[in-house]
Amino acid sequence: MTPFHIVVCGSLVPDPLQTLEPTLGPEGPGLKNEMMLPSVLDPWAGHALYEAASLATKHPESRVWLVSLGPKARLQQLMMSIAQKAKFELVAIDSSASGFIDAQSVARTLATAIDEIDGLDKNRLLLFGGCASASRDAGVTVQMVGELLGLTDQFLAVDELEARDDGSLRVLERIEGGKYLASTVRGAPAVVAWATGKLPEPPNNPQVGMQNMRTILPALQKAKAAIPNRNSIHYQEVAIPQQKRETRVVKDMSVDEIAREIADWIRG
């Protein structure tokens, strides 16, 4: 079986249980008290990481890197949990993880970091990430990283990836109407932006974590600082939606009826 070099792009987002209140400060928009709020691994990136770890297990000698862009101290806290869930090597970039940073600026930083990974064989490269981010939701970052790295085989909103014995990959992408688009690519390199995938979140296992930390701690220590480009995008205002819709639990309502009700609500 072909060993893969899987690079997962993913970082932290504020814990969704917290009160997330956007504010406009002198350095641009952000979330109130963002640096003090507990954070979690971006759920979309999490799916990508767990799929990567699973794929690597099935393909001996594969390697998995997690490329994370975020404040170093907070990445370190995040690793105390994530490092227990899957085996990977960390590439840390000390920078802002704010969802208000332009996706293009983030993509350039990530692509540069990936380019510099020692021992990475780009012919075996599978670039994984979330099809969106819980903090930005631009849905374009991984695509841009792929473009910058010259990867043109790109699959978006993927729920399943099958690596076949002949080296080819069969990919199921989400498309309209709850259907999948099934594609086959002859093999790596490729970009796979994951939706939810099919795997549950692995439980924490401190023994796995202890093994991972041998490489993660040095990676954190030598994390390079990157200054995000805040000038490439200008926000006039940031606010939570003023209009709130009460959630109702209704059974047996058709999709058309639901869509009509939402459209009516948007129209006001």
Partner 1 sequence: METVEHATDTRPSLTTLPGDDIRQILWGFADRFDIQMLVQSVRPVARGQVARLVADGGRHTHDWTDAKNDLLASFDAAGVTALFADPEYGGFIEGPKNLALALAAFELAWVDGGAATCSLAGHLALAPIHEKGTEEQKRTYMSRAIPGQSEEVARGAFCLTEPLPFVGVDTRVLSGRVRIEGWDEGEEPMLRVEKRGRFITNMGFANFVTAAVESDDERLKGTCMVILEESDPGTFDRGSATHKLVHQLSSTTDPIFNLVVPASRIIGGYTLKDGVIVPNYNHSQIIEAVFRRTRVTVGLMTAAKMLSAVEPVIRYQRSRFRGGAADAPGSPRYDLGLQQKEDTLHRLVDVWAAGEAAAALGFATAKFFDEFDPIDHRRDDIFGEGGIPHGRAGLKVLAQKRGPALEYLRLRALGPGKRDEARLAELEKDDLTQFLVQDALALVLCPAVKLWNTGHGTNVMREAVSLMGGYGITEDCPGFLPQKWMDAQLEATYEGPEAVQRRQLSLTMTNELFLAQFQEWILELRRIAGTMPGTGACTLASAMELWQWTLQYLLTHTDADGATLYRDQRQGVTFPMADALCWLLASRYQILSIRELQTAATNGAVANAEGFLNFFADLAHVQAGNAAGEVSRICTSLVYGYNRHPSWDLQGSCCHHTEDLDTLESIMPGIAACAPSVGDVVDADGSHAPKAGPCVRFTGVEGFVARRNKVDGCLTGSRLAKDRAAQALTTVMIPEALDYPM
Q: Which residues bind partner 1 (CB under 8 A)?
A: 15, 17-19, 32-33, 35-38, 73-74, 77, 80-81, 83-84, 203-207, 209-210, 213, 217
CA distances to 51, 106, 247 from 10, rounded to whole Å, are 13, 11, 31
Residue 176 C-beta: closest distance to partner 1, Å: 32
Handedness of CA 146, 152, 157, 160 (dihedral sign): negative
Shorter beta-carbon distance to partner 1: residue 76 or 168: 76
- Rounded CA-CA distance 216/130 in Å is 21
Residue type, 190: A
Residue 219 C-beta: closest distance to partner 1, Å: 13
Shorter beta-carbon distance to partner 1: residue 26 or 178: 26
Shorter beta-carbon distance to partner 1: residue 80 or 182: 80
Residue 150 C-beta: closest distance to partner 1, Å: 37
Residue 208 C-beta: closest distance to partner 1, Å: 9
Residue 71 C-beta: closest distance to partner 1, Å: 8
The HSE-up count of residue 129 (CA atoms within 13 Å, CB side) is 32
Residue-wise DSSP of 99-137: TTS-HHHHHHHHHHHHHT-TT--GGGEEEEEESS-TTT-
Shorter beta-carbon distance to partner 1: residue 207 or 254: 207
Shorter beta-carbon distance to partner 1: residue 57 or 81: 81
Shorter beta-carbon distance to partner 1: residue 63 or 74: 74
Q: Minimal CA–CA distance to 124: which of 49, 62, 52? A: 62
With 0-12 / 13-18 / 19 or more C-beta atoms within 10 angstroms meaning exposed / middle / buried, residue 156 is: buried
Residue 230 C-beta: closest distance to partner 1, Å: 19
- Rounded CA-CA distance 14/40 in Å is 6
- Rounded CA-CA distance 172/161 in Å is 7
